[in-house]
Structure 1
Amino acid sequence: MRIIGGRWRGRKVAFAPVEGLRPTGDRLRETLFNWLQFDLPNARCLDLFAGSGALGLEALSRGAGEVDFVELDRNTAQMLRQQLDLLQAEGGRVHNCPAQVFLSQPGPPCDVVFIDPPFAGDLWQTTLDALVNSGRIGENTLVYVESPRDTAVTAPASWQLVKEKRAGQVCMRLFSA
């Protein structure tokens, strides 16, 4: 996988070969980060279900101030730490725990949250519910949700759908809290 923009543009990033790990493709990442380009400088980001780290690393490359990478798989989390060290990425922190556990712990509100769980897990709704109750949603938080094309995702009534795109078997949604 390559980082497609920012200070690490073109850098290859290794990730652990884990069943079900599905890094967000270049075209989708480019679309997403075009949507977020004015919101990323110095942003506090949360990459739930980090996996390869594609979204969080791209955010750091493009000027995010902090990214918390949350990854359940121990080997994948370790590989993310190694990638952050290789890139000398300040502001990146890896948390090796389930997303629900991370969200149950106190923490500051985020500017951008990435939710891209394993497609086989059907974790979108429970994760959105936990995020809403976590205290990590601020006044202008943007929440990106990547899901299978036909998966229904119900955001809180107070959130607005800012952008939505379907590409292949994937649906990308960006909400404003």
Structure 2
Amino acid sequence: MALSHRIRIIGGVWRSRQIQVLDQQDLRPSSDRVRETLFNWLGPDLSGLKAIDVFAGSGALGFETASRSADEAVMIEKDKRIHNQLLIQHQLLNSYPIHGEVKIIHGDGISYLQRADDRSAQLIFLDPPFNQPNLLLSAAQEAGRVCDDQGRGGIYIECPNDFDLRDLSTLLPNWTLIKSMETAQVKAVLFRRSSS
């Protein structure tokens, strides 16, 4: 199993701890810059929130959320090798206990969302492989039903910077894009439920 590099957790209880990432095609951890921006949007304390990382990959978003005191961080990963690596990393991180619970599930993230109850999570991360845009569209549609952001969380999406955000807005009719940033390769956006 080739381990390519490490990424650091930016804030919270596990601040400065590192996650080892597998060297595997399509595994593209969110960059430090993008994660720092995202968690500036969300704030340093995520207590009271249940978060779902639908395409967990490196675990950068899920572990960062757990580090910031989310009540529950659910990380779903379809690839068995990557899932096993997430379990190892969690065991290493958990030598310093956190406030909430981390669940690392081997399975399909979209199927997980389809089975989830309406408004059963407050923060959902969607960062699928960039070469499979239909995954993002399917997941966004389910996330709009499952997420109840309570004005604090939301639906966070990372996609290629040539992706048309109007496709997402159509699938999330009761949501408003409130924050966005763009790098050379990535668009990062946060949707919050529109006030009724």
Q: TM-score, normalised by structure 2?
A: 0.83
Question: Deviation above 4 Å: which 4+ runs of structure 1?
Answer: none
The letter for the 2-side match of 1:120 is N
Q: Distance in 1 between matches of 2:11 and 2:24?
A: 25
Q: Distance in 2 between matches of 1:100 and 1:24?
A: 20
- In structure 1, the residue corresponding to 2:112 is in which secondary structure? helix
Quick one: percent identity of the two aligned structures?
35
Q: Distance in 2 between matches of 1:166 and 1:143?
A: 17
* Corresponding residue number in structure 2 for 1:170: 186
Deviation track 1:103-149 (CA, whole Å, cap 9, x = no partner) reads 1223461111110001011121111113235xx22263500000011
Q: Distance in 1 between matches of 2:69 and 2:45?
A: 10
Structure 1: runs of 5 or more not aligned: none
Tell which deviates more after alignment, 80-89 or 158-167.
Answer: 80-89
- In structure 1, the residue corresponding to 2:88 is in which secondary structure? helix
Q: What does 1:100-115 correspond to in 2, within 5 Å?
A: 100-107=110-117, 109-115=120-126
Structure 1 residue 158 corresponds to structure 2 residue 158 = no
Match of 1:42 among 48, 57, 61: 48
Match of 2:91 among 67, 85, 90: 85
How many residues were matched structurally? 175
User: How big is the alpha-carbon RMSD for the aligned residues of Structure 1 and Structure 2?
Assistant: 1.7
Larger Rg: 2
Structure 1 residue 16 corresponds to structure 2 residue 16 = no
Match of 1:127 among 117, 139, 156: 139
Q: How has the CA–CA distance of structure 1 residues 32 and 12 changed in structure 2, closer, same or farther, with 3 Å as cutoff?
A: same
Deviation track 1:141-176 (CA, whole Å, cap 9, x = no partner) reads 500000011202323221011101111211111001
Structure 2: runs of 5 or more not aligned: 1-6
The letter for the 2-side match of 1:97 is G
Q: TM-score, normalised by structure 1?
A: 0.91
Q: Distance in 2 between matches of 1:15 and 1:143?
A: 24
Tell which deviates more after alignment, 101-110 or 56-65.
Answer: 101-110
* Corresponding residue number in structure 1 for 2:4: none
Deviation track 1:23-74 (CA, whole Å, cap 9, x = no partner) reads 0010110000000016612311000100000001011111211111011101
* Corresponding residue number in structure 2 for 1:2: 8
Q: Distance in 2 between matches of 1:73 and 1:48?
A: 12
Q: What does 1:64-83 correspond to in 2, within 5 Å?
A: 64-83=70-89
Deviation track 1:67-96 (CA, whole Å, cap 9, x = no partner) reads 110111011111111111111155111111
Q: How has the CA–CA distance of structure 1 residues 41 and 139 changed in structure 2, closer, same or farther, with 3 Å as cutoff?
A: closer
The letter for the 1-side match of 2:53 is D
* Corresponding residue number in structure 2 for 1:146: 158
The question of whether the paired residues in 1 share the 8 Å contact of 2:12 and 2:44 is answered with no
